[in-house]
Amino acid sequence: MEENILTLDDYIAIVKRRKWHAIIPAFVLLVIAILAALLIPPVYRSSATILIERQEIPVDLVRTTVTSYADQRIQVISQRVMTTSNLSGLIERYDLYPDIRSKQSINAAVEEMRKWVKLDMISADVLDPQSGRAQEATIAFSLSFENRSAAMTQKVTSDLVSLFLNENLERRAAAANEATNFLQVEASRLGSEISTLEARLATFKEDNSDNLPELASLNRELMIRTEERLRDNGQAIRTLQQQVLYLESELAQLDPTLGGYSGIQANSVEAYLEELQTRYVRAKERYSPDHPDRIQLEKEIEALQQNSSASSAAFIQSRLDGLIAESSSLKKRYSDEHPEVIALNRSIADTRRKLEEARKSIGTQSASTATINNPAHVQLRVKLEGTQQELESLKRTSKQLEDQLRGYEERITKAPRVEQEYRALTRDYENAMAKYQEIREKGLQAELAQSLERDRKSERFSLIEPPLLPEKPFKPNRLAIFVLGFVLAGAGGVGSLALSEALDKGLHGPRAIQMATNLPLLAIVPYIETATDQGARRKRTRTIMAFGVVGILTLVAVFHWAVLPLDVLWFVVMRRFDVSLPGLSN
């Protein structure tokens, strides 16, 4: 059998033969599409546009504490707004989804409402002021709600916008307050830590007041000076020791007493004492109390005063002995009641009293000392005693200098350990102070940011397009449904026709018979149309025309109701072709 290649006549014959296989499915599909376009309930959408306005005050002057990106913050706010408590409140206020609430629960109604709330970001290429490069940024966002009631859609969208705006203000204020409170608590904690470190540092300074690092150079200098003083003091001690030996040898060669009368001896000591006192008065006017010459004169005067007292006692004793001898001589010649004897006795008693006073002034002084009346001897002895006392003073000073030197050496030895501990304490204190200053500065910035949020000078959401009452339903798109139904009806009819022809195993037409039998055809008998056939054809024609008119009227009604009213369409067409209507022209 040769391949059966269909021609245009064959296709026309197939259409004529199986036209109802295409018309009926196409009609059914078209009716379904029309019914869907007419019966699907309308859904209205009310949308609001919210602009993200930048901070009014330059960021270089006051920085906000809200550092997240706008789209991220919007998503966070959306999650806070779209909570069950907020949405359930709106559902109960406007009595939304009564069927779902009656059959299921409020949670199911909330989930249904979330499906109809849409949040869309609006981005644009903006110039970054810091980097100077263009980058995509979110400048606004739209919030919409869909519902079958136009008025309800507008009310719910308005409430959702209010929730978004209020939540943004609350979140920004809460973020600023949290940052301020955190920095205040941190500053208080660091202040307490600094007080503790200051107390530890003060205690350490008190315990190691002489070993602080800043005193290290001073301690070394003092140690050097102490060594020099100790060396000079040792040299002075050796010099004084030589003087002591010299004075002792001179004193051993000098006679402590003078020959002659006791009165002359006492007068010599008294005269020398007066001379020393005169020299002391002049020295007192010229020198300070610590001057060596003045100190030497004071020591000599003190020693001569003691010797003067001893000489006076010896003089009084000799006078008393003379009075007693004279009294014995008078008693041999006169009685005890004789006036001269009585007067002499009174002189003896007065002399004895003076002797007792002189002896009390010199104390327990030895007889040899009491008899020293040589001024040169006294002067040498005073110099010797002064030199010995100065020597003892230098020795004590040397011991003190040695103690000081050991103290300085101990300070210098302890200095590295003390410096290490001191540096550690100081470093902790300085770090704490640096942190405290940093926290204080950040706290002031946070307070400024808090004022910025309170006065609404920072980044904010502004409602630039409030939700309006929708005039037309957002969906369904009835014209699109009708056009799509028309296209599907045509495709369904053609597909049904092709499927019927493919499943048919019969032979149609002389060519198919000739190709199937491989025999030549002798004649072709045409189809003879009878009167009955003509009546049936006219009936079908009238039926088709009636369905066509109904379909056209239906299409017109759908266009008038779903797309554009016919009167409006008429005016649009007349205006397009610039045709003036009678009675409407001026």
Query: Which stretches within 455-477 are classed as H helix?
Result: none
Distance CA 177, CA 127 (A): 31
pLDDT for the residue numbered 156: 92
Give the mean pLDDT per block of 10 residues along the chain (586 residues).
62 76 82 78 87 68 62 84 90 88 88 90 72 73 88 91 87 79 85 87 79 76 86 87 82 62 46 69 73 71 60 60 75 75 77 71 48 64 77 86 83 79 85 87 77 69 85 78 83 82 70 70 72 82 82 75 71 66 46
Residue burial 141-171, b: 16+ Cβ < 10 Å; e: rest = bebbbbbeebebbbbbbbbbbebbbebbeeb
- Coil vs helix vs strand at 21: helix
Task: Provide the Cα torsion 281, 284, 290, 292; round to 10°.
Answer: -50
Phi-psi domain of 528 (left: phi exceeds 0; alpha: psi -120 through 50; beta: other): beta
Tokens of 449: 């940011």
Tell me the residue type at 378.
V
DSSP letter, residue 335: -
Residue 429: CB partners within 8 Å, gap ≥ 6? 194, 197, 198, 201
pLDDT for the residue numbered 366: 43
Domain ranges (residues) in the chain: 1-34+486-526, 44-189+440-465, 216-414, 536-586
pLDDT for the residue numbered 369: 46
Phi-psi domain of 363 (left: phi exceeds 0; alpha: psi -120 through 50; beta: other): left
Which residue is listed with tokens 């991220």? 72
Tokens of 237: 């001690």
Q: How many residues does the chain have?
A: 586
Tell me the residue type at 57.
I
Tokens of 244: 């002591």
Q: In what order do the strands lie in the sheet with 117-127?
A: 117-127, 134-147, 44-53, 460-465
Q: How many CA atoms lie within 13 A of 95 on its CB side?
A: 2
Reduced 3-state DSSP string for 78-115: HHHHCCHHHHHHHHHHHCCCHHHHHHCCHHHHHHHHHH
- Coil vs helix vs strand at 141: strand
* Cis amide leading into 476 (omega within 30): yes
